[in-house]
Amino acid sequence: MTITIDGRVRAVTMWDFSWLERRWAGAGYEDWDVALAELADRGYDLVRIDAFPHLVSADPERTWTLLPFWNQQAWGAQSVVTVQLLPALLDFIAAAKRHGVDVALSTWFRQDADDVRMRLATPADIARVWTDTIRHIDRAGLLGSVVAVDLCNEFPLPVWAPFLYGTDNGPGFPLTHPRVGAWMRESIELVREQYPDLDYTYSFSATYEDYPDIEVAAFDFLEPHIWMAGTSDYYTKVGYAFERYDSVGYDNVVLRGRQVYLAEQERFDATLFAEIDRVAEWSRVSGKPVVTTECWSIIDYKDWPGLQWDWVKDLNERAVRYAAATGRWTGIAVSNFSGPQFVELWRDVEYHRRLTTLIRGSAVDADLIEGAR
């Protein structure tokens, strides 16, 4: 099965590494059947998760110690946590199948105590850990529930692809860098040789003015992450700098986040919609469908004293409608906060149903239907 079929648009959510790390009482994923039933009830039919391929390949049954990437966000664990990948990954995919939800695999290359991710030195290494992981799923008879593989989240950012640089700090290469294009092409081709029936991509978090020079010929679909806060000077005006272990950024969002947006709403919206238009044109030029799983308003948010969800929800809804109307998206998320740990957003069931109904009923341009494998 592939992600682009029959001209149908998928309503997708991102559960990243939270599906496995957030399993303590009240964390949202302690009972996968409950969480997935709620996901299906809200109208979603696809979930993107971290498959931890580097750890599956190294030792799938080992208990791994994961180090926290942050303590200010509600994704994943905010302290040290231990995980075992198998049979957990297989159990989750089986649970998703029971609830009529397909799975897209991705990875954030989470850091464990031994920092196994830094052993990945070549595109062939990335391909190897992914084929090892897919093989376990295939042998379990569950590959029919997997539709796509994103070989690295938001490539080539050092925080998620530190093996490219020997560090997880710094700006990293631009998407147009020849090494980036070669790495993506070679790794996808190697995995596709073993498993040709899946769709493959690398997801991005950037602005896409240089899209003609980004090498995506090997991709089956584009996976750009798009936010108002990432396409404008919004965060600069708010005073938020992605602080991972200090609440000062969120304190500033409480003080100014909503007000800054509403004061210049028309300008901020224009930057977001212009980026959606740009990605739609990228799709037309490349012939690739678009799937966006992280989007549309603010990048980082959570249930927190003084933070209101009304403006976030409103902008997300307008962006969903705008993207869906282009005919270039075959997978659309309501938000990167569409998970049970974001309680106030999650409990607005009718909001999710309204938007997933819109998404799944959207039309897709004819060339994308004809081009589907």
pLDDT of residue 352: 98
Band the pLDDT of 16: cuts 50, 70, 90: very high
pLDDT of residue 6: 66
pLDDT > 90? residue 30: yes
Three-state SS letters, the chain = CCCCCCCCCEEEEEEECHHHHCCCCCCCCCCHHHHHHHHHHCCCCEEEEECCHHHHHHCCCCEEEECCCCCCCCCCCCCCEEEECCCHHHHHHHHHHHCCCEEEEECCCCCECCCHHHHCCCHHHHHHHHHHHHHHHHHCCCHHHEEEEECCCCCCCCCCCHHHCCCCCCCCCCCCCHHHHHHHHHHHHHHHHHCCCCEEECEEECCCCCHHHCCCCCCCCEEEEEEHHHHCCHHHHHCCCCCCCCCHHHHHHHHHHHHHHHHCHHHHHHHHHHHHHHHHHHHHHHCCCEEECCEECCCCCCCCCCCCCHHHHHHHHHHHHHHHHCCCEEEEECCCCCCCCCHHHHCCHHHHHHHHHHHHCCCCCHHHHHHCC
Question: Using alpha carbons only, what angle is made at residue 144 by residues 44 and 23, rounded to the nearest 5 degrees?
Answer: 55
Do the Cβ atoms of 324 and 359 come closer than 8 Å? yes
In the predicted model, what is the mean pLDDT of residues 131-144? 98
pLDDT > 90? residue 14: yes
The Cα–Cα gap between 312 and 316 comes to: 6
Band the pLDDT of 8: cuts 50, 70, 90: confident
pLDDT of residue 370: 65
Return the sign of the alpha-carbon dihedral for residues 366, 370, 371, 373.
positive
Instruction: Supply the mean pLDDT for the chain.
Output: 96
pLDDT of residue 5: 60
Nearest 10 degrees: Cα torsion 336, 92, 104, 116: 90
- Main-chain dihedrals φ then ψ at residue 291, nearest 5 degrees: -130, 125
In the predicted model, what is the mean pLDDT of residues 121-132? 98
CA 68 to chain centre: 19
Nearest 10 degrees: Cα torsion 333, 67, 30, 247: -70
The Cα–Cα gap between 71 and 249 comes to: 12
The Cα–Cα gap between 35 and 143 comes to: 21
- 47, β-bridge pairs: 13, 103
The Cα–Cα gap between 24 and 15 comes to: 16
Do the Cβ atoms of 155 and 204 come closer than 8 Å? yes
Q: Burial of 27 by CB count in 10 Å (0-12 exposed, 13-18 middle, 19+ buried)?
A: middle
- Main-chain dihedrals φ then ψ at residue 297, nearest 5 degrees: -95, -95
pLDDT of residue 373: 52
For residue range 323-370, what is the model confidence (pLDDT) as tens digits? 999 999 999 999 999 999 999 999 999 999 999 999 999 999 999 986
The Cα–Cα gap between 294 and 369 comes to: 23
Band the pLDDT of 371: cuts 50, 70, 90: low
